[in-house]
Copies of this chain bind each other. A is one copy, B any other.
């Protein structure tokens, strides 16, 4: 009777499926199949496995990612950054609601390298985005924690794949901008949006830290009430700052917009702009080109970090490094000769 579907075998399959669904430890295959059907619980579970540092989860995580990959790569990925108090949650909630109303499926992830230290400065709080979280077509995931920004970045990149496999067509990656986190978010998104306040006086900070250079758009929030005039001034200022930079490889001219997330004003215009960007860069080929560059960046980044870790965590090197530093200090060697000595020791092994 093998291969023939009978009511009995069907019932068995259904029962098995039900059990798999209920049990606490579904297989990678089951999770992938559920994720691809858009099951948010399975998606959450799978992300937890990916984020786990337990060795027993490593193989399963790999299998899940592998299973989801063919359905990945299909969303528009938007990076949003802004200092605490700029209104990021409210802005993302309004943008998310607009998108779900229009039939989109929206996932919100976060990069927050401070989370492991401070207990999370973003998204850790369940009270954020109270309305968006109730939407069937929205998925909100608190920040992955980790020891290194590289580790957090990898987990977030993998979570993106899973969200895409689950049918989320718009993925928002949020960060507060601790350390190099904006650079990390920029390197995994298609569109990078900088949320600002009027009169905060941090235009120069943004230039200094290279954030303005990365921005595809600067959106000045809280453009309401007494703040309107200041917002217009800030818009002019930021426009001036944006024009300091040479034309982008994307041929996209970065825009400055204003909005009031609280009053739900100007959000539609932000989304129109993102769509315009996607249309333009898909037409000129930059959209795909940027993703290829990003993949290469993460590939090389991972390799380079591993090469370094392997070297500097080597017991012999650790010991010899101290000796070589001493020799330099005592004027009996140069940094270059010391490097050669260490490398010879390393490669001999």
Contacts and interface: CB of A to CB of B under 8 A. Distances in A.
Contacts of A296: 325, 335
B207 A334 contact: no
Given A244-B208, A298-B336, A331-B72, A343 B306 contact: yes
B298 A308 contact: no
A328 B299 contact: yes
Interface stretch (A36-44, A153-161, A252-260): A153-161
A334 B158 contact: yes
A70 interface: yes
A269 interface: no
A205 B62 CA distance: 45
Nearest to A304: B308
Contact of A207 (B72, B208, B299, B303): B208
A262 interface: no
A6 interface: no
A295 B336 CA distance: 9
Nearest to A328: B295
Contact of A157 (B298, B304, B336): B336
Interface residues of A, number: 50
Interface in A23-58: none
Contact of A295 (B69, B204, B329): B329
A213 interface: yes
Given A69-B332, A332-B69, A334-B158, A311 B302 contact: no
A41 B297 CA distance: 48
Contacts of A333: 69
A336 B204 contact: no
- This chain's copy number in the assembly: 2
Contacts of A283: none
B336 A154 contact: yes
A1 interface: no
A86 to B, nearest CB: 20
Nearest to A294: B335
B342 A303 contact: yes
A118 interface: no
A181 interface: no
Contact of A325 (B66, B161, B208, B295): B295
A89 interface: no
A105 to B, nearest CB: 19
Interface string A332-349: 111111111011000100
Contacts of A62: 337
Nearest to A158: B334
24 contacts: A65-B337, A66-B337, A69-B334, A70-B332, A73-B331, A154-B336, A158-B336, A204-B241, A207-B207, A207-B208, A208-B208, A295-B325, A297-B335, A299-B328, A299-B339, A302-B336, A302-B339, A302-B340, A303-B342, A303-B343, A304-B308, A307-B307, A307-B311, A310-B347
Interface of A: 62, 65-66, 69-70, 72-73, 154, 157-158, 161, 204-205, 207-208, 210, 213, 241, 244, 292, 295-299, 302-304, 306-308, 310-311, 324-325, 328-329, 331-340, 342-343, 347
The 9 closest A-B pairs by CB, nearest first: A302-B339, A298-B335, A299-B335, A307-B307, A295-B328, A303-B339, A295-B335, A69-B331, A207-B208
